[in-house]
Copies of this chain bind each other. A is one copy, B any other.
Amino acid sequence: MPGLTLADARIALDAGLAEADTIGQPMNVAVVDDGGHLLAFARQEGAIRASIDIAQRKARTSVLMEAPTAALMPLVQPGAELYGLEQTAGGLVVFGGGIPVHRDGVLVGAVGVSAGSAEQDVQVATAAVAAISTPVPA
Interface on A for B, CB 8 Å cutoff? Answer: 5-6, 9-10, 33-45, 48-54, 57, 61, 63-66, 73, 76-79, 81-95, 117-118
Contacts and interface: CB of A to CB of B under 8 A. Distances in A.
A10 B49 contact: no
Q: Which of A84, A85, A93 has the most CB of B within 10 A?
A: A84
Given A35-B49, A40-B43, A50-B65, A84 B89 contact: no
A84 to B, nearest CB: 4
Nearest to A39: B43
A116 to B, nearest CB: 11
Contact of A94 (B36, B57, B84, B117): B84
Given A39-B43, A93-B88, A49 B76 contact: no
B83 A76 contact: yes
Contacts of A86: 84, 87
Contacts of A61: 50
A50 B92 contact: yes
Given A83-B95, A84-B86, A86-B84, A64 B41 contact: no
Contacts of A41: 38, 40-42
**Which 3 interchain pairs have the tightest Cβ spacing?**
A35-B35, A50-B64, A41-B41
17 contacts: A9-B42, A35-B35, A37-B49, A38-B43, A39-B42, A39-B43, A40-B41, A40-B42, A41-B41, A48-B66, A50-B65, A50-B89, A57-B88, A76-B83, A81-B95, A83-B95, A88-B91
